[in-house]
Amino acid sequence: MPRPIKCRKVDYNPGSKFFKPAGIPVSELEVSVLALDELEALRLADYEGLYQEEAARKMNISRQTFGNIISSARSKTADALINGKAIKIEGGHIAMAERKFVCLDCKYEWILPFGTGHPEKCPGCGSVNIQRVKEDYSVSSRGRGCGRR
Ligand SMILES: [Zn+2]
């Protein structure tokens, strides 16, 4: 039985999901698919400038797995830039971060996907006295073969 792939935690939702060289129709382009975990690796290591150990910890994966992901991400990106390919960002074994909130008045707790903004009021009682629960960090499964933890 193959070892199940551990989900990579992704804290970021890319706004743009398709990049292509200007002036060339998509039908004439080769498209390179960059998985969301590869993009997250690029973001943490090359954009935020984190050490691989730290970036791996943020994605909840081993340093070695992170090394494999970032190397694949860099190679695909370089290939697209140099050979004029389009880049499509999708898929990957990822677990999107969720944020948990609690109402300080009625103690109601609820979860929102990452990137949806801070809620204005409690869905239970309508109170604005709400707070994000930071310590209880949960993730939901979004990718193929990702089990709920
Ligand atoms: Zn409430």
**pLDDT tens track, the chain, 149 positions:** 556 666 777 776 666 688 999 998 888 999 999 988 999 999 999 999 999 999 999 988 999 999 999 999 999 999 999 999 999 988 777 777 777 889 999 999 888 876 667 788 998 899 999 988 864 444 444 444 444 44
Backbone angles phi, psi at 44, to 5 degrees: -70, -45
Q: What pLDDT score was predicted for residue 15?
A: 64
8-89 and 97-141, same CATH topology: no
Q: What residue spans define the domains of the chain?
A: 8-89, 97-141
Domain 8-89 sits in CATH at 1.10.10
109 CA to middle of ligand 1, Å? 8
| CATH architecture under which domain 97-141 falls | Single Sheet (2.20)
Q: What pLDDT score was predicted for residue 115?
A: 65
Q: What pLDDT score was predicted for residue 50?
A: 96
List, in sequence order, every beta strand (DSSP E) within 60-105: 86-89, 94-103
User: Which residues are within 5 Å of ligand 1 (an ion), measured at CB?
Assistant: 103, 105-106, 108, 122, 124-125, 127
Please name which of 76, 80, 118, 125 lies closest in space to residue 101, comparing C-alpha atoms: 118
117 CA to middle of ligand 1, Å? 18
Q: What pLDDT score was predicted for residue 80?
A: 95
What is the CA angle 110-113-116, rounded to 5? 105
